[in-house]
A and B are shown apart, each in its own frame.
Chain A
Amino acid sequence: MTLELWSSQLGLALGIFVLLPLRNRSRSLQLAVLLALLALGLVPVQGLPLVAYPRALVPELSIVALVALGWVALVRAGLAQPLPASQRVTLYLLFGALGLLLYPAALGLGPLDPYGWGYGPRTMLVVLGLLALLLLYLGHRLAVAMLALATLAFALGLLASENYWDYLLDPLVVIYCWLALLVAGARRLWSARSRPLAD
């Protein structure tokens, strides 16, 4: 794994890994497949490593996306229990709301650019630090791990970006959260409608 491509290669490998039916396979086979997938990104295709092609569309995944994919991979491998529904919804709400705050304005809706807040992000660090503490006390450990690891990676400059937002969010995370919230909302509405009315 070359240093500058680590997040793209890891994202590509984990993304494929979670789609493979490996739940009941041995640990050694699961590990071997993951390592093979990590190596896959480096396979040269027309003079470029394979991972350079998905990078044309998604140059770098956020740390939050990598932690999420890592968690799902652990669940698929049978090494972790799935999150309770309430904790999943908390994650969708948290990162869906951050995406709603960031993307429309950063793409030009209105004069304010919240993306600029991500450089030397003193206010963001205070707000998200307090939010992480609250989530810790509420027992949302995966959400806390996502915020903590994203912040640590930002402090260490582990991605190409100098902007805190790029460690927290990417469009794939946000679109997934929005879709998951829509599906959850539709299910709730459907179950409420199909419940028989009391006389």
Chain B
Amino acid sequence: MNQPKSKRAALVLGSIGLAAIFAFAWQARPAPRLAEFALPQTQVVPLPDQQVPVFESRFASSSFRNFAHASAISALPNGDLLSVWFAGSREGASDVQVRGARFDARTGLWGEEVVLATREETQQGVKRFIRKLGNPVLAVTPDQRLWLFYVSVSIGGWAASSINAMYSDDMGHSWSTPRQLVTSPFLNISTLVRGAPVLHADGSIGLPVYHEFLGKFGEYLHLDADGRVLAKSRISDGRFSLQPTVVPLDQQRAIALMRHTGEDRRVLASRTEDAGRTWSRPEVLEPNNPDSSLAAIATPRHGLLVALNDLKEGRFRLSLYGTDPQLQQWKPLLDLDESPDEDGRPIEESSYRRIVAEHFLKSSGTQAPGRLEEFLSSIDHRFCSKGQCKFTYDYPYVIRGADGRYHLVYSWNHSLIKHISFNDAWLETQL
């Protein structure tokens, strides 16, 4: 008689204990609420016809000796800019660092490169062996915190990447210890950043990311103001879309443009109407995409501004397009940089040196003509192979500052990070 009674008591107690644990978890981990998009806070910007057209070009990076790639840029609250990129002896090398430079808005000059994250510091921070570093992106949140997210790989190639996060409460002068976001159930691998983060109205961060292990698809990570992952949604699925760049149109609607890795080789687009919780099936757009990163931003009067390689193959021309929010009408605005050969064929080295010197001087603005000889002496395998040289302009990243000015950075022949800036008045002249 006693045993069944004690067994019953154990069952009752066990049930109560279980109910308490699951109720506690229910209460402690509420369902995530995805706040609406925060629309960009620009100052009162004069109408385009009251502005003087501005278009400027400079280099944000200053070292000529490294493979420099995958740049990002952020406007800081005092009007300065911070650009970040990865640089090292080659892509994927263990000496690759996340570097950055600050643009002084008063002088109009980029400062010296500084190292923001190294492989060694990252593995010390996350207590995990790290083999290489990659793509960084930046975000300034409403609590005046500057976030740096960047990719690292412990074992294998880029498909095994994880995302690291660190922040600065003094706008990039000092940084927190990096920590790794847990974003995937399979050994926390294959989540990468590339597109610019998006802010939500409650100060949380939307991080466009992508997966490229078995499938290749875009995803949207929602982080709270402390960088904790709140939710994840899938922008696309399958094996052909990467590197979403998300452009909010209003509080609920946004467009994600994506790189196409399939045979169609055209830009892909997906839309959300619930602030990033769900996304439409991707549609194929008019411009070509040679499996190359692209960047986009909303403009107050012209829909979207998109920087991309509108090519079937190669990345020898980077162009700026305007399109409407329906993505139906595409208007070429400017070829930002291009090879003199319209098919991007390699050029014999002696001719190449002359042409690339012209491009370098044209791109440098007033900043670096005195460094031409130093630049020419740095020409190596990044540009030329067996006496044949090529031009590469890729991985654009675009933002709009609080003063209404647009800032675009991209890889310039994988040796420098080029920064161009322009305003709405200049855009008007291109339409």
- For the A-B complex, the count of residue pairs with Cβ-Cβ distances under 8 Å equals 149
Q: Are A171 and B187 in contact (CB under 8 A)?
A: yes
Q: Are A136 and B15 in contact (CB under 8 A)?
A: yes
Find B25's partner among A109, A110, A136, A151 (CB 8 Å cutoff): A151
Q: Is the CB of B4 closer than 8 A to any CB of chain A?
A: no
Q: Flag the segment in A17-25, A115-123, A183-191 that touches B.
A: A115-123
Q: Are A108 and B211 in contact (CB under 8 A)?
A: yes
Q: Are B182 and A116 in contact (CB under 8 A)?
A: no
How many angstroms between the C-alpha atoms of A169 and B211 in the bound complex? 20
Q: Are A55 and B11 in contact (CB under 8 A)?
A: no
Main DSSP-derived SS at the A contact region: helix
Q: Flag the segment in A28-36, A70-78, A159-167 that touches B.
A: A159-167
Find A116's partner among B30, B124, B232 (CB 8 Å cutoff): B232
Q: Is the CB of A97 closer than 8 A to any CB of chain B?
A: no
Chain B residue numbers with a CB within 8 Å of A82 are: none
Considering residues B30, B32, B127, which has the most beta carbons from chain A within 10 angstroms of its beta carbon? Answer: B127
C-beta contact mask, A149-177 vs B, less than 8 Å → 1, else 0?
A: 00110111001111111100111000000
How many angstroms between the C-alpha atoms of A57 and B130 in the bound complex? 10
Q: Flag the segment in B40-48, B223-231, B242-250 that touches A.
A: B223-231
Q: Is the CB of A180 closer than 8 A to any CB of chain B?
A: no
Knowing A109-B215, A136-B18, say if A163 contacts B229 (CB, 8 Å): yes
Find B232's partner among A102, A109, A119, A159 (CB 8 Å cutoff): A119
Considering residues B32, B162, B185, B232, which has the most beta carbons from chain A within 10 angstroms of its beta carbon? Answer: B185
Considering residues A51, A59, A60, A122, which has the most beta carbons from chain B within 10 angstroms of its beta carbon? Answer: A59
How many angstroms between the C-alpha atoms of A133 and B232 in the bound complex? 30
Q: Flag the segment in B58-66, B233-241, B288-296, B412-420 that touches A.
A: B233-241
Q: Are A55 and B18 in contact (CB under 8 A)?
A: no
Chain A residue numbers with a CB within 8 Å of B187 are: 57-59, 170-171
C-beta contact mask, A94-137 vs B, less than 8 Å → 1, else 0?
A: 00000000110011111101011011111001101100110011
Chain B residue numbers with a CB within 8 Å of A170 are: 185, 187
Chain B residue numbers with a CB within 8 Å of A126 are: 22
A50-75: which have CB < 8 Å to B?
A: 51-53, 55-60
> In chain B, what residue has the closest Cβ to A104?
B214
Q: Are A102 and B11 in contact (CB under 8 A)?
A: no
> In chain A, what residue has the closest Cβ to B239?
A108
> In chain A, what residue has the closest Cβ to B10?
A136
Find A59's partner among B22, B180, B234 (CB 8 Å cutoff): B180
Knowing A107-B213, A148-B17, say if A115 contacts B231 (CB, 8 Å): no
24 pairs from A and B in contact (CB 8 Å cutoff): A47-B124, A48-B129, A56-B130, A56-B131, A56-B155, A57-B187, A59-B180, A59-B187, A59-B188, A107-B211, A108-B213, A113-B233, A113-B234, A119-B231, A128-B22, A129-B19, A129-B22, A136-B14, A137-B11, A144-B14, A148-B17, A148-B21, A161-B229, A162-B229
Residues of A that sit less than 8 Å from B by CB: 2, 4-5, 8, 47-49, 51-53, 55-60, 102-103, 106-111, 113, 115-116, 118-122, 125-126, 128-129, 132-133, 136-137, 144, 148, 151-152, 154-156, 159-166, 169-171
Q: A116-B234, A118-B185, A132-B22 are in contact. List 7 more A-B contacts (CB 8 A).
A: A55-B129, A58-B187, A59-B180, A107-B186, A107-B215, A148-B17, A162-B229
